[in-house]
Amino acid sequence: MGEERAGPGSFRALAVLRAKEGELTALRQLRSGRFRQQFHAVQPLLRMDPGRPVDGDHIDDLAGCAAAHALGGRPVMIDASDLDDPAATMRTFRDKMGMLPDSCRFIPVVRATDPRSYVDLLGALADECDCGAALRYVVEHTPPGDITAAITAAIAALRHEREAIDLIIDVGYLPNRRTARQRAEQVTALVSSHPCLQGYRTTSVVAGSVPKSLRHVGRLRQVRHEEELWRGVATGSTRKDLRFGDFGVVHPVPPKRSGGRFTHSTLRYAVNGFWLFFRQSIEDHLDEATACGEDGRTHTFRLISRELVADTEEYFGPTFSWGDHQLASSANGNGEKLGTTSTPVAFATSHHLAYLAERPLAA
């Protein structure tokens, strides 16, 4: 794959990620010289999670990550529409970004169904940041007959030309192949027949197939239905400007509440059109953990790392991404903070960003 250049509109795949510690940790690693090609190829969209309090520390972490990307020429997209008070949060985020040197550049994301006053605010922020805006059209939230009116109103409130807007067609959760094929036909018809979905700086089709929760114990292989949808759209549509997008390694719909007792350790790993889902009970390995001098969560995740690295032929190798290097280190008895809830997400997301950068997904 040739060298990509970072900057608004210059990406080959879009990654919609929750703005949480694991995902932010993975994104920070992309600034490393070893992974610059991944940095150039993948556009992050960070969505603020309604299940987590948006406090000062959270905004500081998010702003620091976004500022580092902006300084590297890759402004991140920021979506706060799921929050109770997105306007206040976006103002606070903008103020934090403005306190960092030469980095107040990000791409605000508006939904086609957002209130007019909020869209007005995002339009002003987009003017200030001078790198455009993103319009996220959630297919299931807008009936086909209302698309033109909703999108036209959002663009008017943003006060930006389409050439400065990244359109995101959010297809949502794909539980099976049948749904993927049906949605592919729907999206193909939409992008072909609605002029309001044409003429943007970029147009990405985003979907996800990670279940809300995993029930199995052991290893499970599942088709990545988002890639099935993409193949259907890419072959069914005459448009060649469409780009692939997904929701990283989590379910497309963020939970309304976070927290709770974790009884299992999990890892979600993308391989050549499939997911590998690893899940092990922490309690089942407590005696082994004690014998090794480790806590249960650390030891259980180390066992999962070993299964991926040593017992599967689909592990991409320790040089593929920062996360793959860390998984190999964990499998070999090293690594830190393996028992935290964010560590498996950080490692898997890092691998996933590299997967999106390298996998041939062009239409």
Buried b (16+ CB within 10 A) or exposed e, 186-204: bbbebbeeeebbeebbbbb
For residues 206 and 111, the answer to whether their CB atoms sit within 8 Å is no
Instruction: Give pLDDT, residue 278.
Output: 97
Asked whether residue 106 is domain-assigned, the answer is yes
What is the CATH classification number for the domain harbouring 71? 3.20.20
Angle between helices 342-358 and 21-28 (to 10 degrees): 50
Whether residue 56 contacts residue 24, with contact meaning beta carbons closer than 8 Å, is answered with no
Query: How many domains does the chain contain in total?
Result: 1
| 323 in a structural domain | no
Q: For residue 313, what pLDDT is reported?
A: 93
- pLDDT for 291: 87
What pLDDT is recorded for position 294? 87
Is 363 a member of any domain? Answer: no
Alpha carbon separation from 230 to 171, 185, 285 (Å, rounded):
11, 10, 40
What confidence tier does 336 reach under pLDDT thresholds 50, 70, 90?
Answer: confident
**What does the chain come to in residues?**
363
The pLDDT score that the predictor gives to residue 5 is 52
322 located within any domain: no
Computed over its alpha carbons, how large is the radius of gyration of the chain? 20
Does the residue 38 lie in any domain? Answer: yes
Query: Is residue 180 a part of any domain in this protein?
Result: yes
Any domain includes 310 = no
- Residue 363's pLDDT band (boundaries 50, 70, 90)? very low
Burial class (CB in 10 A: 0-12, 13-18, 19+), 23: buried
Question: 20-57 pLDDT, tens per residue?
Answer: 999 999 999 987 667 778 888 999 999 998 866 677 78
Q: Examine the pLDDT at 13 and tell me if it is beyond 90.
A: yes
Band (pLDDT 50/70/90 cuts) for residue 361 is low
Mean pLDDT along residues 292-306: 91
- Note the pLDDT tens digit of each residue in 179-188: 999 999 999 9
Burial 66-76 (b: 16+ CB within 10 A, else e): bbbbbebebbb
pLDDT tens-digit series, residues 103-118: 678 999 999 889 999 9
pLDDT digits (tens, 9 = 90+) for 145-185: 788 999 999 999 999 999 999 999 999 999 999 999 999 99
**Token digits of residue 245:** 């997008």
> What value does the mean pLDDT of the chain take?
90
Region 247-264: what's the mean pLDDT?
82
Whether residue 2 is predicted with pLDDT greater than 50 in this model: the reply is no
DSSP letter for 2, please: P
Q: How far apart are CA 3 and CA 26, in angstroms?
A: 21
Task: Determine the pLDDT at residue 257.
Answer: 65
In a domain, 170, yes or no: yes
**Residue 46 domain boundaries:** 13-213+223-258
Q: Is the pLDDT of residue 255 over 80?
A: no
Q: What is the pTM assigned to this prediction?
A: 0.93
- Lowest-pLDDT range, 196-210, 251-265, 274-288, 311-325? 251-265
Residue 362 has pLDDT above 60, yes or no: no
Tokens coding 204: 């990405």
pLDDT value at residue 55: 75
